[in-house]
Amino acid sequence: MLSRKDFVSRFGGVFEHSPFIAERAFDNGSVTEPLTASGVHAALAAVFRAASKEERLGVLRAHPDLAGRLAVAGELTEDSRKEQSGAGLDRLSPVEHARFSELNAAYVEKFGFPFIIAVKGLGKEDILSAFERRIGNGPDEEFATATAQVERIALLRLTSMLPEGE
């Protein structure tokens, strides 16, 4: 079994900039060998769901804006950079970039956290459509949608790191 330090080092970023999730999963004994994407995800997601609303909000706020200033400045985490690049968000036209920036600002103003979507398998048009649809959600509905997307992103990241499992 990995040590706590090694486990947190390896999986602490699966939930964006939120190593407390990996720490708690390790500490509560819910991580078991062999490490599989589904097993580690179940352990981490359970901790995320059990976290206070403020802690979950902190996880949401740790995510970067899509095609936002961190992307432009090259300051995304490696996972976020790959995910956004794979969806074509690093190749937006000036008009598309302006639309994403406008939606990002409106979304953060309305909900208090950035728009979060698991972009794997989506193109920029799909993402823009989801963005425009979800900005009309109410706060509770969007908080639930965003947290579900965070869990999906975590599973996709774990799947690239570990075997699937059952």
**Residues annotated as catalytic (active site), given as ranges:** 63
Residue 134 CA to residue 145 CA, distance in Å, equals 9
Three-class SS of residue 63?
Answer: coil
54 to each of 2, 50, 92, 106, 112, how far by Cα in Å? 29, 11, 33, 21, 12
Alpha carbon of residue 154 to chain centroid: 6
